[in-house]
A and B are shown apart, each in its own frame.
Chain A
Amino acid sequence: MATVAFETPKLKPYPVIPLVAEGAMAHSKPYVASPAIQSNIGFPGELTEGWEQRAVAKMGELLDKYRSLRVYMDACVHCGACSDKCHYFLGTGDPKNMPVARQDLMRAVYRRYFTFAGKHFPKLVGALDMTKEVLDDWWRYYNQCSECRRCSVFCPYGIDTAEVTMAAREIMDSVGLGQKYANEIIGKVHRIGNNLGIPGPALEDTLFGLEEDTKEETGLDVRFPLDVEGAEVLLVTPSADFFSEPHVESLIGYAKVFHAAGISWTLSSKASEAGNFGLFIGNYEQMRNISLRVKEAAQALGVRRIVIGECGHAWRVAYSFWNTLIGPFDWLDARYPVPQHICEFTHDLIERGALKFDKEKNDDRVITFHDSCNVARASRMGSMPGGQFVIPREIIKTVANHFHDMAAGTIREATFCCGGGGGLLTDDLLELRVKGALPRMEALKTVVDEHGVNFMATICAICKAQFSKVLPYYGFDMSMVGGVHQLVGKAIRLGELH
């Protein structure tokens, strides 16, 4: 790996806002997508003559298509409310990781080409021509934003840097500058069906193996069905759930819930991925096409319900965008929300008394819950605002005896991103990921020290992968992180009910 050595930040007993350290992360850049990766998903292969004009034209197009971008380019007053809210700023001190400064990278160009003040008094308002230097800064710092929306909670005008980052990535893609990690994955999801690139037969094999393992553990025939026509529920889950630790533990948990409730379900080899990287690159058409796979699979299998596994951004796209992108869902069972989160699904069964648990099976664990950014600030569960905070915690408290929340400013709507979201979960950005995890690690350290917490549950494949990787940098055991349904699977009582 080409990453240069870096120092892991020290965990402080209380949060300290770093002093501005200009250029501290100027070296952090992801790998550039090859022309083949780019053209594979319909983008130009590389920067060619005249890209500046094309970039500005694309910006004009997006300004006409997205009110968010249009308003956010104008509304910022540089009050600084967001300046200490981004985990990447808190972890690195690089001022261009302050949300306002990140937005200003685009605002400078917007002003130059689209506003009176910037056209006539560029110096006064900090307007800049679209040049290679500007693009280089975009490339660095729009690839240091995880689109987690924490800044949008604190902005007095609700300016969401995620919207700006997505627009910037869309503009860069449109002139031939794409990010290798995200764009390669988008190619895979279309070609193979999932982000990890697991072909159907391998998936079948894995699921068969899981059935054997679960049989060994429980003595019961807990099924992991694939492509079963006429099943009640289609479960769409991140492909990491099939192959990665600790993700697979949650998949086993889902299967046990379905088994205990006696609800028929299936996975799909065509839609073997919940994640939607179209979101990360801000491309509406990609986001829609990736979503359409799920609709096509669900209709082909003739299911009545769609349930989404533990995946943060996937849940944002499914909950907030699917109805718009691929709805209406009048062909599914109207008695259930479409789509439904696996936590809503399990919680509903708990409420109805359909599941029983042996809580003490989780007694070796003192648990805390990491709210995943996109679930927390870009979606909901249940019918009440904030259900996305309540329902997972209710489930944990139902299946385990020891639970402690982390500090108030670090959970729920103010939760910190794990540091790997929004298309940054790649080893070429490892330094950024480690440093960006600092605020979460500090909050975790406090509950570890004060309450003996030894397990951080979360409901996002990226969070799980990111924490598994960065926990050791801060002196924690990588197995401290896991899914909510990992805990459910451990404590659930199987067999007797049916």
Chain B
Amino acid sequence: MNALTVAYAALFYIATAVFVIGLASKIRCYLRTPAPLKIPTTPAPTTTTGVALRLTREVVLFESLFKSSKWTWLFGWLFHAALLLVLLRHVRYFQQPVWTPIVWVQAFGTYAGFVMVCGLAGLWARRFLVDRVRYISTPSDHLHLALLGAIAVSGLGMRFVAHTDIVALKAFVLGLMRFDLQPLPPDPLLLLHLSLVALLLIVFPISKLLHAPGLFFSPTRNQADTSREARHIAAWAAALEKK
């Protein structure tokens, strides 16, 4: 087994561990931190089902962002929807045989890569063109966009410009999952693509990418408006009553 394969295998094991453990510990932290007061942004649903629907609309349609800014919504939604298709398309590298739905998604997933790039370009343009967004943009914001953009472009490059050996790649990925290392094709574009994806996994739990789990724990969105019906007391607040 060559050194390159071992290095990339190690990189992906580490990146996956950082991603899973980092994200799990963040989520555990959110779960353990109490929300001592009812603070849903009203009008808010009064039932758990209503809350589930509200969160679903936020996750699927970006409802609040739509209310806020149509351009940001358009680029943001296109990017995320395309990213989802692209991710689903990539599931084929992790399974043999490939699920039928993943086969179906292939056609859309391939072209979704372009939509993803357009979405990212739109979002990035706002960071230069809108003075308010320019003011709040940090180096980290630009680097996140650069990272995602580079992943998308290198991926598209392999699909449409310089084909890589996807059969060997799939063998490598399946080998990773079965702890039976297979040689990784030494294609520079592929190596770049994989390195950037590993980097994305690693920064996820320590960056603003935490917006993904964050939404589900946001009290203004995940609480039902039942303050008059039910008490909502945190352990530390209940301790005050014993004083």
Contacts and interface: CB of A to CB of B under 8 A. Distances in A.
A156 B43 contact: no
Interface string B132-170: 110111111101000000000000000000000000000
- For chain A, give the interface size range: 35 or more
A321 B136 contact: no
B186 interface: no
Contact of B215 (A116, A156, A338): A156
B199 to A, nearest CB: 13
B236 A65 contact: yes
Contact of B38 (A75, A78, A100, A321): A321
14 contacts: A65-B36, A67-B33, A74-B26, A76-B211, A80-B130, A80-B136, A81-B68, A83-B133, A124-B138, A126-B139, A149-B220, A160-B41, A160-B220, A319-B228
B36 A66 contact: yes
Interface in A188-219: none
A65 B64 CA distance: 27
Contacts of B137: 78
- For chain B, give the interface size range: 35 or more
Contacts of A82: 68
A76 B69 CA distance: 16
A75 B214 contact: yes
A63 B236 CA distance: 13
B7 interface: no
Interface stretch (A236-244, A264-272, A376-384, A391-399): A376-384
Interface of B: 26, 29-30, 33-39, 41-46, 58, 62, 64-65, 67-69, 72, 76, 123, 126, 130-133, 135-141, 143, 206-208, 210-211, 214-215, 217-221, 225, 227-234, 236-237, 240
B7 to A, nearest CB: 24
B139 A123 contact: yes
Given A66-B34, A77-B141, A100-B136, 4 more contacts: A64-B33, A68-B35, A80-B133, A154-B64
Which 6 pairs show the lowest CB-CB distances between chains A and B? A75-B214, A154-B68, A158-B220, A385-B43, A81-B68, A80-B133
A119 to B, nearest CB: 10
Contacts of A158: 41, 58, 64, 215, 218-221
Interface of A: 17, 19-20, 22, 63-68, 70-72, 74-85, 95, 98, 100-101, 104, 115-117, 123-126, 149, 152-160, 163, 284-285, 288, 319-321, 323-324, 327-328, 337-339, 376-380, 383, 385-386, 388-389, 413-414
A126 B211 contact: no
A152 B167 CA distance: 48
Given A100-B136, A154-B68, A116 B206 contact: yes
A75 B215 contact: yes
A69 to B, nearest CB: 8
Nearest to A100: B136
B34 A153 contact: no
A366 B123 CA distance: 45
A413 B42 CA distance: 7
Nearest to B55: A158
Contacts of A284: 36-37, 237, 240
Nearest to A159: B218
Contacts of A156: 58, 62, 64-65, 68, 76, 211, 215
A74 B230 CA distance: 29
A150 to B, nearest CB: 10
